[in-house]
Amino acid sequence: MKCQAYEEYKDSGVEWLGMLPQSWECIRLKYVAELEGDKIEPYSQHKYVGMENVESGNGKYLTKMDTTPEGLSTSFLEGDVLFGKLRPYLAKSLLASFSGICSSEFLVLRSRMVNPKFLNYYTLTEEFINQVDSSTYGSKMPRASWDFISLMGVPVPKYEDSQKIANFLDHETAKIDTLIEKQQQLIKLLKEKRQAVISHAVTKGLNPNAPMRDSGVEWLSEVPEHWEKLSRIKYISSLKGRQGWQGLKADEYIDEGPYVVSSAHFTNHQIQWDICPHVSSARYERDSNIQLAEGDLLLMKDGAAMGKLAYVDKLPDKTCLNSHLLLFRPVKGSEQLAYNPRFMYYFMQTDFFQEHIRIYGTGVTFLGISQQAIGNYRLVFPSLVEQKKITAFLESETSKLDDLEVKQHQMMYLLQERRTALISAAVTGKIDVRNWVTPESPCSRDISASLHGTSTNKKTR
């Protein structure tokens, strides 16, 4: 939508705010809103809001997050603005729609001069967050102080105008959020399509008319009749892993030398070499079992990222593993590999394989799967020639789906940028929405017409 600017502007007196409409004021936050909330014990009868309950950047309340009060909490009332003061959560600001208690890492602000929604939107602007971020202190958990935030300038229109701006933003951001949600749904469908294409190709082949037979493996059901290779992973693959850290400490990391890879360095099954640490050559040579080669598969075998996968398509230098990864490399027999590494890479992405990892993972506080449980996994696979054809097909098909997903992410990013820019423009007076009115829905028009004894569907003669 197109919006006009105000007729006259003046200098706000605050460099990062710039010009404000002539009728607006720039007032310190401590005069615009009061810091509220009493520190109390987190009684279970109070509704609790933790940092996890607030979505970053848009102020949405996430009801599905299971959060538990810890230590002292802060009380708040409906209409208060909860602003996260920890650096990782500065973009978390919530307009409370109920009374309760919240994490003591929230600042509870009660607006006195502007509509609470307006204040909430203002605390979500990049201008405000960047200024707060510049003031954070502390090395472990940097946080912002009220002493600094309270002195920050706030654009203050007339109260009724701040309410109009808030209503305008409610309507417009809701439309953008709907578009973003549709992009997210499309991305989810693309991911599901990708999984389905991979699963079908590596378990049923590419010929839809191929005669089928029972595989002899319960989870697999039928496979093409000519797929005769039934095996356990441990017979066709070398499985290696680091036996503990062998005394390796973080202060041994250096700027150059062989790489050390962990699952934290995987993104979309690819190793991000620029963020991997380095170790000395002596450390690398200590264990030949965990030295990587091109074509290796890496699997996270424990922790929250259990099942996470990476394919080593290139090695910029010598590389070894950390203690939480398992290395897969095809065994060699009769002058050829037992399987195509790229085919196995796709197979390990399937729900069949990932579900096996989830089922056989053990542990109470730290889940993990043993090398034996993975090695005993049974699968049926085609000849190397057919594996190569299936791999080529999947390279082409997944590339198309991945490109589509990238485009949807780009569109979603643009929508989020538009949302942020619109909020900033409205609450700093760059656009004038005083004459904006909420568009009537067809339903509301029908109700209005019926109340006045008319019908929107009445035919004229």
Task: Tell me, yes or no, whether 299 lies in a domain.
Answer: yes
Task: Tell me, yes or no, whether 17 lies in a domain.
Answer: no
- Of 331, 351, 381, which closes a domain? 381
- CA-nearest of 378, 335, 447 to 215 is 378
Residue with tokens 């991911």: 191
- Greatest mean pLDDT among 388-397, 435-444, 448-457: 388-397
> For position 457, what pLDDT does the model report?
46
What does 107-146 look like in DSSP terms, one character per residue? Answer: EEEEESSS-HHHHHHHTTSHHHHHHHHHT-B-SSS-B--H
- pLDDT tens digits along 414-424: 999 999 999 99
Per the structure, the complete domain to which residue 288 belongs is given by 207-381
Task: Tell me, yes or no, whether 75 lies in a domain.
Answer: yes
Q: Residue 446: pLDDT above 90?
A: no
Type and span of the H or E element at 155: strand 153-156
Type and span of the H or E element at 343: helix 341-347
How many C-beta atoms surround the C-beta of residue 374 within 10 A?
Answer: 22
Q: Residue 439: pLDDT above 90?
A: no
Q: Are 438 and 167 in contact (CB under 8 A)?
A: yes
Residues 162 and 240 in one domain: no
- Greatest mean pLDDT among 26-40, 64-78, 113-127, 427-441: 113-127
* 208 burial type by CB count under 10 A (0-12 exposed, 13-18 middle, 19+ buried): exposed
- Of 381, 401, 423, which closes a domain? 381
CATH code assigned at 260: 3.90.220.20
Residues 147 and 185 in one domain: no
Residue with tokens 């989020």: 416
Residues 355 and 230 in one domain: yes
Task: Tell me, yes or no, whether 16 lies in a domain.
Answer: no
Task: Tell me, yes or no, whether 163 lies in a domain.
Answer: yes
Task: Tell me, yes or no, whether 437 lies in a domain.
Answer: yes
Q: Mean of the pLDDT values across residues 343-361?
A: 92
Strand 9-11 versus strand 19-21 pairing type: antiparallel
**459 secondary structure, DSSP code:** P
Q: Please give the tally of structural domains in the chain.
A: 3
How many H-runs (helices) and E-runs (strands) does the chain carry? 12, 27
User: Looking at the DSSP assignment, which residues form a beta bridge with residue 82?
Assistant: 94, 108
Residues 146 and 82 in one domain: yes
Span of 170-174, 215-219, 309-313 with lowest mean pLDDT: 215-219
> For position 413, what pLDDT does the model report?
95
How would residue 263 be classed by pLDDT, with cut points 50, 70 and 90?
Answer: confident
Span of 15-19, 44-48, 85-89 with lowest mean pLDDT: 44-48
* 417 burial type by CB count under 10 A (0-12 exposed, 13-18 middle, 19+ buried): exposed
For the entire predicted model, the pTM comes to 0.81
How would residue 243 be classed by pLDDT, with cut points 50, 70 and 90?
Answer: low
- pLDDT tens digits along 312-323: 999 999 998 887
Q: Mean of the pLDDT values across residues 109-133?
A: 95
> For position 44, what pLDDT does the model report?
61
Say what percent of the chain tops pLDDT 90.
62
- CA-nearest of 233, 218, 206, 201 to 376 is 233
Residues 298 and 343 in one domain: yes
Residues 224 and 359 in one domain: yes
The larger pLDDT score, comparing residue 335 to residue 408, is at 408
Residues 226 and 291 in one domain: yes
Residues 318 and 347 in one domain: yes
Strand 93-95 versus strand 153-156 pairing type: unpaired
- Of 333, 354, 381, which closes a domain? 381
Residues 176 and 298 in one domain: no
Residues 216 and 146 in one domain: no
Task: Tell me, yes or no, whether 177 lies in a domain.
Answer: yes
67 φ, ψ (degrees, to nearest 5): -115, 145
Residues 105 and 178 in one domain: no
457 φ, ψ (degrees, to nearest 5): -105, 5
Task: Tell me, yes or no, whether 94 lies in a domain.
Answer: yes
Residues 246 and 356 in one domain: yes
